[in-house]
Amino acid sequence: MISLKDHEDSPEKTLQEKNHHPKEENNHSIEHEHRKHLEQDHSKHEEYTEHLKQNHTEHEEHVEHEHKEHLEHDEHTEHNHHQAMMADFKKRFIVSLIITVPVFFLSEMVQELLGLHFLSFQGDIYILFLLSSFVFFYGGYPFFTGLVSELKVRQPGMMTLVAVAITTAYIYSAGVTFGLMGMTFYLELVTLIDIMLLGHWIEMRSVMGASRALQELATLLPKKAHRIGGEGEVEDVPLENLQVDDLVLVKPGEKVPADGIIKESQSYINESLLTGESEPILRSAGEEVIGGSINGESSIKVMVEKIGEDSFISQVVSLVEEAQESKSHTQDLANRAAFWLTIIALSGGLITLLVWLGMLGQDLSFALERAVTVMVTTCPHALGLAIPLVVAVSTAISAKNGVLIRDRQSFENMKNIHAVIFDKTGTLTEGKFGVTDVISFKKDDFSGEEILKYAASVEKESEHPVAQGILKSVQETYPIKDFHSRPGEGVQALVGDHEVKVVSPAYIETNNLEVTSSELVDIQKQPKTLVYVVIDGEVAGAIALADVIRPESKDAILKLQRQGIQCMMLTGDNEDVARWVAEELGLDEYFSRVLPQEKALKVREVQENGYKVAMVGDGVNDAPALTQADVGIAIGAGTDVAMESADVVLVKSNPADMVTILGLTKATYSKMWQNLLWATGYNAFAIPLAAGLLYSWGILLSPAMGAVLMSLSTVIVAFNAQLLRINKI
């Protein structure tokens, strides 16, 4: 796994390439800008535009700058497109529904059924024709454009079916109006269009709702930042004016404007919308903060490290979009099923027409109604939505919980894994020294807590990793004076009236100091670093340090093992360290002294034993192993989340999220198949009914009722996808 700052072929490059090959919408935007410039200064910009055409390379830098100006617009283009489509379907539905009211009351069938013959008048059939024509052309317009789009790519689908059905009904009804023998379908026609528009509106609302979490991410950053000048003055500047290494002030309750490092003070930071971590986290000077997180009760000064597409939020948005666009095996299956269902519907409609006309002797009006009903009822609308809605919901859920899915197919493969191989350092452990044991040899005089506090007080003047590990284990220290460091031996200082030394085992041996403790014997057998605390010339206690095992690692491994998954570990550490960590966590197997370049070979060995393998690593030297595994999972380790070799990224650096992923992939797969079974099962039932199989029993499905059932199946599929949100994962 390679982080953004270490990998040249990162999403930064991808985004730049994307800028040089923009979408059609973006091209239009640039052309519009050029036209505006031409109107303002025609002669100057005509020459410039001509030069741009002749030598694109020379103006590449200008184009990139122009794209940068439009970046915010481009990020929202697709979202705005969906909003516009939703608004369009809603408007067409409302207008068509209003026109449907007079069509309803002017229909001969309704007048006879409700006894409203007084509404009939000379020439009312032509009024019906005009009103229905309006609904046909205005309300049916999206289906005609959809038909053209589907036929262009040679993928006839739902739009093709609806367009063929309403066109058939309209042409036949118009023919009857102007002299052809038969009955009109005007009421069926307009109600069918109304229901289809309503169904599409509901669909667009579902899609918009499913991606709401991604939209929230894109709007997390504040509009302005308090930038601190060279002389300490504070000015409010737009976010786009921030540069790397700018110092900004973040007041209590405000959002952090950019990814950076705290330079002064400390505060509790709420990162719940970014990482899923519910509790605010105390961040101090020297620690990283993420743009978009919310500052607590203290003002902090932050040095900006990342802006624009390098920022955490931009990377998350990019990865979530990538996940939503990535191919899914189940989606491919659904697409093939939808294509064949469309062929079956068109063929079924034609066969139904011919059978009722030729073999069963019905008139053209009846046969045509059956054919239209078959085509409408069999629309693969629900089938087309079955997978995308589940994908959108699961992607939003995972992003909200700090799990970023980069490859859908690998994500779906998670349900089949037999083994999880964890990298040790930085994955199962924190990758830094921490206190594991504190022993007091003089419990009557000093408790373990006091021993640790005395040691931390002396060590706060030292930069040694052991000193930092001890210092991080206490909340506060005592004042000291007369600090001295003795290389190879330790450090000492006066703490109050006591002379306190924190020394190595070598110092104890050299000075023949007496140490007796049964607890110490067990610790000395473990691969831990041991230091002693000497107070006023006597050994008062000992502190053991090691690469701290993450507290959540043991629980995660236990839960995975309960699901029948083998848990293994790779490490470059020696046998003693590997064995100790494996025993502490209850791992099934471990591999020690594995060099970075050998990790992929170890993964392959496990695969050759018949296991489907997920590899979890910290992204520093695990890239080959992550690529070799059936599913590569990267521990996010802060804000560098765009790790190119991984299929899934755990933003919170929490191995327990492995359990979350597994639960989510199983629930997602289950919902996909539920939707597929419902969509195909519905059609298996509806096609014979629509064709008139139960006509002899007096059961006949009208085109409008077929559209109702088809839309109902779509709503059920959309609702079932949303139920994924309340699944216990």
Q: Which of 488, 522, 549 is the last residue of a domain?
A: 549
State the CATH number of the domain containing residue 489: 3.40.1110.10
pLDDT at 42 over 60: no
Nearest to 609 by CA among 429, 347, 367, 421: 421
pLDDT per residue over 365-393, tens digit each?
Answer: 788 778 877 876 776 666 666 777 787 78
Weakest mean pLDDT among 77-91, 295-309, 318-332: 318-332
Q: Give the per-residue pLDDT at 24.
A: 38
Q: Give the per-residue pLDDT at 17.
A: 36
Tell me how far apart the alpha carbons of residues 695 and 108 are, in angstroms, rounded to a whole number: 22
Higher pLDDT, 12 or 705: 705
Structure tokens of 166? 């309403």
Spatial contact of 39 and 49, defined as CB atoms under 8 Å apart:
no
C-alpha distance from residue 183 to each of 164, 378, 506 (Å): 19, 24, 105
CA dihedral 600, 605, 608, 611 (to 10 degrees): -80
Tell me how far apart the alpha carbons of residues 273 and 216 are, in angstroms, rounded to a whole number: 9
With respect to residue 281, please indicate whether it lies within any of the assigned structural domains: yes
Nearest to 484 by CA among 496, 473, 495, 474: 495
Q: Give the per-residue pLDDT at 203.
A: 60
The pairing of beta strand 490-495 with beta strand 498-503: antiparallel
Q: Which of 272, 306, 340 is the last residue of a domain?
A: 306
With respect to residue 537, please indicate whether it lies within any of the assigned structural domains: yes
C-alpha distance from residue 317 to each of 11, 83, 216, 321 (Å): 11, 19, 10, 6
Token pair 């979202």 is at which residue?
A: 79
Q: How confident is the model at residue 217 (pLDDT cuts 50, 70, 90)?
A: low
pLDDT per residue over 554-588, tens digit each?
Answer: 999 999 999 999 999 988 777 888 888 899 899 99
Polymer length of the chain? 729
Q: Give the per-residue pLDDT at 408.
A: 72
Nearest to 291 by CA among 638, 18, 1, 627: 638
Q: Give the per-residue pLDDT at 612.
A: 92
Q: Where are the beta strands (DSSP E) in 168-308?
A: 224-228, 234-238, 247-250, 259-264, 267-270, 281-283, 288-289, 294-295, 300-306
Q: What is the DSSP letter of 572?
A: S
Tell me how far apart the alpha carbons of residues 526 and 480 are, in angstroms, rounded to a whole number: 32
Across all residues in the chain, what is the average pLDDT?
A: 76
Structure tokens of 278? 């519910």
Give the contacts of 288 (CB within 8 A, at least 6 positions apart). Answer: 259, 260, 261, 262, 305, 638, 639
Higher pLDDT, 416 or 344: 416
Weakest mean pLDDT among 157-166, 336-345, 634-643, 646-655: 634-643
Range of the domain at 11: 4-63
With respect to residue 383, please indicate whether it lies within any of the assigned structural domains: no
Q: Which of 43, 63, 83 is the last residue of a domain?
A: 63
String of DSSP letters for 406-475: S-HHHHHHGGG--EEEEEIIIIIEEEEEEEEEEEES-TTT--HHHHHHHHHHHHTT--SHHHHHHHTT-S
With respect to residue 8, please indicate whether it lies within any of the assigned structural domains: yes
Give the contacts of 540 (CB within 8 A, at least 6 positions apart). Answer: 440, 441, 442, 445, 446, 451, 454, 533, 534
Q: How many domains does the chain have?
A: 3
Structure tokens of 611? 């296991």
Q: Give the per-residue pLDDT at 261.
A: 93
Tell me how far apart the alpha carbons of residues 439 and 543 are, in angstroms, rounded to a whole number: 6
With respect to residue 662, please indicate whether it lies within any of the assigned structural domains: no
Structure tokens of 162? 């609806």
The residues pairing with 545 across neighbouring beta strands, listed in sequence order, are: 435, 529
Query: Which phi and psi angles does 631 have, rounded to 5°?
Result: -135, 120
Token pair 């990814």 is at which residue?
A: 259
Q: Give the per-residue pLDDT at 316.
A: 60
Q: How confident is the model at residue 716 (pLDDT cuts 50, 70, 90)?
A: confident
Structure tokens of 186? 């005007």
Nearest to 407 by CA among 648, 172, 227: 648
pLDDT at 551 over 80: yes
- Known catalytic residues are 423
Spatial contact of 150 and 159, defined as CB atoms under 8 Å apart:
yes
pLDDT per residue over 632-667, tens digit each?
Answer: 888 764 334 435 567 788 877 778 888 888 888 888
Q: Give the per-residue pLDDT at 26.
A: 39
With respect to residue 378, please indicate whether it lies within any of the assigned structural domains: no
Q: Would you say the pTM of this structure is higher than 0.85?
A: no
Query: Which phi and psi angles does 435 have, rounded to 5°?
Result: -75, 130
Structure tokens of 65? 């700058």
Token pair 């959002």 is at which residue?
A: 255
Spatial contact of 640 and 7, defined as CB atoms under 8 Å apart:
no
With respect to residue 574, please indicate whether it lies within any of the assigned structural domains: no
With respect to residue 495, please indicate whether it lies within any of the assigned structural domains: yes
